[in-house]
Structure 1
């Protein structure tokens, strides 16, 4: 933890001449961008895997016709097909899973009052008027929604809402295109697929809850990573109108 704190402080020192009091917040954004750059090869591999899975849809449709009345046999046949074609159905989750350690490091760093034997001075660092160790509830208690701290959170909520709306519309179009294409092959509907199709586009809005309840430093990571994901997926999946990334709502 102390090594990670030193990394954040070092980045903040480098950015201090430009961002001054908000240098630590800028360091968190830069750190998040660095993590996303490291994970980007996995995101590209996930997109390639999605294309490979899309190419298998005609074969899966045939398996559904053949084993539609036996779900266990159908599942086994689909898994064998993925294995034979060396396509992992879970590859889309890897970029999100590899980001979790970075998020939890930030969360714990800005949730603890001490680093080793010393007080955690990072908690007092701010994004404009809002301390990075505080939460939205703290901002509401110090000036309310439109107070100096509350306005910082409102800005983050606006960014998250814009990104979530973009993801909502895009995911809905992609799932609708995929469902329409699936319905054309005469294959049976997967049980529960309709409910998932309705709920999945809304998952992006759950990020608002995360931003509201975690320390501001961790919220900055979430907002930056979610925005990066929206742009990255729009680029990687631009030629796949019917493909929904397996981690489309995880950021």
Structure 2
């Protein structure tokens, strides 16, 4: 069974298709054949603007976790031989401060449906029973419906697609590296979340968007590139407004 024929999903996908094609048509006098790509960028910026309050909450939560670090270290020393008591006390501390060690996952979860819709819009040849005209659009000669992985494995090979993807992936890797260096997590002594393995895993997550971009259509990769760039700029601004406490 094709999940996209399920009426609620088909209706959502058709509505998203209609909105994106309408915006793309409006942008054609300015963007030409890249109108659909410009529409994707504008939709991404709109979504990120809507999620600004979430980013502010995330920055405040990060500030709170850094402030709680000394108390967490104290709990770890006090209950070092009682892991269950340590876990309860740690979670109670986060609860009392109205925060969570996993608060940063919210923006990613909120964006997942958007990436899924963009992936579907530029993957299917038909949307709700009619032809998908978005697949005829391109960005500097690279089809918005082609993924780098599919081009390299199944063809046909397109130098324009390869070049555009290399530029987008280079931007994402550069943003990931800056983010990793500037926003290192505050280590908590003897905490499982601060173990070398966990810290390496958290650092690797910064590059996940670049890896994911290889396998999704170019339109979704464009969305990811704009998203990670916006996120870095937003975090720099919010870090200045909500600085982390300086360790004594």
Q: What TM-score do the two structures reach when normalised by structure 1?
A: 0.84
* Corresponding residue SS for 1:91: coil
Cα deviation, residue 46, structure 1: 1.2
Corresponding residue for 2:86? Answer: 74
Q: Is the 8 A contact 2:179 2:206 kept in 1?
A: yes
User: After the TM superposition, which segments of 4 or more aligned residues of structure 1 sit over 4 Å from their partners?
Assistant: none
From the superposition, tell whether residues 128 and 210 of structure 1 become closer, same or farther in structure 2 (CA, over 3 Å). same
Rounded Cα–Cα distance in structure 2 between residues aligned with 1:188 and 1:43: 29
Corresponding residue for 1:230? Answer: 232
Corresponding residue for 1:24? Answer: 36
Corresponding residue for 2:77? Answer: 65
Q: Is the 8 A contact 1:129 1:149 kept in 2?
A: yes
1:168-187 alignment, distance < 5 Å: 168-171=180-183, 174-175=184-185, 178-179=186-187, 182=188, 187=189
From the superposition, tell whether residues 74 and 137 of structure 1 become closer, same or farther in structure 2 (CA, over 3 Å). closer
Corresponding residue for 2:244? Answer: 240
- Choose the corresponding residue for 1:40, options 39, 52, 60: 52
Q: How well do the aligned residues superpose, as a CA RMSD in angstroms?
A: 2.2
Q: Which runs of 5+ in 1 are unaligned?
A: 244-251
1:202-213 alignment, distance < 5 Å: 202-213=204-215
From the superposition, tell whether residues 228 and 241 of structure 1 become closer, same or farther in structure 2 (CA, over 3 Å). farther
Q: Is the 8 A contact 1:133 1:216 kept in 2?
A: yes
- Choose the corresponding residue for 1:148, options 160, 165, 176: 160
* Corresponding residue SS for 1:15: helix
Q: Is the 8 A contact 2:144 2:219 kept in 1?
A: yes
Q: Is the 8 A contact 1:135 1:214 kept in 2?
A: yes
Cα deviation, residue 143, structure 1: 4.1
Cα deviation, residue 192, structure 1: 6.6
Q: Is the 8 A contact 2:67 2:245 kept in 1?
A: no
Count of equivalent residues: 231
Rounded Cα–Cα distance in structure 2 between residues aligned with 1:211 and 1:113: 20
- Choose the corresponding residue for 2:61, options 45, 49, 52: 49
Rounded Cα–Cα distance in structure 2 between residues aligned with 1:163 and 1:235: 15
From the superposition, tell whether residues 57 and 38 of structure 1 become closer, same or farther in structure 2 (CA, over 3 Å). same
Corresponding residue for 1:249? Answer: none
Cα deviation, residue 191, structure 1: 7.4
Cα deviation, residue 206, structure 1: 2.7
* Corresponding residue SS for 1:56: helix
Q: Is the 8 A contact 1:47 1:237 kept in 2?
A: yes
* Corresponding residue SS for 1:79: helix
Rounded Cα–Cα distance in structure 1 between residues aligned with 2:103 and 2:166: 35
Rounded Cα–Cα distance in structure 1 between residues aligned with 2:246 and 2:204: 18
